[in-house]
Amino acid sequence: MKHARHRSDAPREDLRREADLQDLAPKRYVSDLGPTPTRRASLGQFRTRSGFAFPDLVVDYLTLGRLNPEKSNAIVVFHALSGNARVAGTDPATGRPGWWDYHVGPGKSVDTDRFFVICANVLGGCDGTTGPSSTDPATGTPYGSRFPEIGIRDMVAAHRALLAEIGIARLHAVIGGSMGGMQAMALAFDHPGLVGKCAVAASAFAHSPMQIAFNEIARRAILADPAFAGGDYYPGPGPSAGLAVARMVGHVTYLSPESMEAKFGRRLHGSGRFEVENYLDHQGASFVRRFDANAFLALTRAIDRFDLFEDLPADRLLPGNPTEFLVLSFASDWLYPPAQSAGIARAFRSHGLRVSETTLPTAYGHDSFLIKNPPLTEILRGFLG
């Protein structure tokens, strides 16, 4: 007997189209910008808030568009946990488009015909910027277990060092989703006057117990893998099984129940397994090929420990902070729910800051800020001016 439908077909078709867009992005979507090689900057000694001193901080970054003579049109886009500097354009090595190419480029919401866009790999990552897999000059081997504890504000300080190297003293705007939103807020609060506009999507000023719990489950999967070897697994493959499971946990939280139902239902794959199981296997395997387990541990710990208002001097909270804020959330995002974004907006207003708040009805869960999303495009375009 067939099960009765509990929803109309129309919303399911909308979800399928949205899911298809996400699937098409890395396969058939072609960037308008063409190949866009990243750059590398060596920024000298860098000390973390925990007191560790890197002898030479290396940052990989991408720039798009042109900096105007007044140096007033720069925008920094901060990437999320599994992102990198390739915000738009095409990776010359893989042919894949950047993770936010739908929104960054000529005539798009972050218009590279008007703005000079900067996106850098974060400190602690594994895409060129100094991280656990980088060589420690003191030993000639990867940092591994010796990599220090880092925080969101350390990542922001690395970005500040890069901006100084480029010669930019003020930013038209900063934009970030999820972990990127944390960095955007920290930069705007820690350096009043540096940032004109700050757009934050699907983020938090401090993680909830549930958000910490999901990250801890993912970390435990890595730590329990015998191949983790205490974090000193280089040059071997490392804890591939544990990292794959960690990514599976993440992907479940990034989607919404509705999008999972529309995308997979209870359909079976040719092997007799559920389609959702096959999807998780694919996501885990592809993540292992491009990400480092130690970086995952370092970044998720930094996210969990972040608190925007912790130890923040009172003068950083005065209404004199000129930054204009936009806080975006998505109705179907249960990992970073709209109520959490509303809390950000309330906190900002309580300190006399200028803030706009919008919840979009996109149905693709936490990943809604990454996909082709016309309402998000228009809101960003209007906010950036």
DSSP string for 224-293: TSGGGGGG--TTS--SHHHHHHHHHHHHHHHS-HHHHHHHTTTPBPTTSSBHHHHHHHHHHHHHHHH--H
Among residues 82, 111, 366, 368, which one is catalytic?
366
- Please tell me whether residue 294 adopts helix, strand or coil conformation: helix
CA atoms within 13 A on the CB side of 375: 12
Among residues 101, 225, 333, 367, which one is catalytic?
333
For the question of residue 329 being annotated catalytic, the response is no
Q: CA Rg, the chain, in Å?
A: 21
Q: What share of the chain is helix, strand, coil (3-state, %, to 5)?
A: 40, 20, 45
Q: Return d(Cα 121, Cα 60) in angstroms, integer.
A: 6
The CA–CA distances, whole Å, from 325 to 65, 147, 210, 350 equal: 24, 34, 26, 13
> Are 188 and 356 contacting, i.e. CB atoms less than 8 angstroms apart?
no
Positive or negative torsion for Cα 28, 34, 35, 40: negative
328, β-bridge pairs? 201, 358
Among residues 133, 178, 341, 368, which one is catalytic?
178
Unique residue bearing structure tokens 């989607």: 255
For the question of residue 333 being annotated catalytic, the response is yes
For the question of residue 6 being annotated catalytic, the response is no
Pairing outcome for strands 116-120 and 58-64:
antiparallel
> Are 199 and 174 contacting, i.e. CB atoms less than 8 angstroms apart?
yes
Active site residues: 178, 333, 366
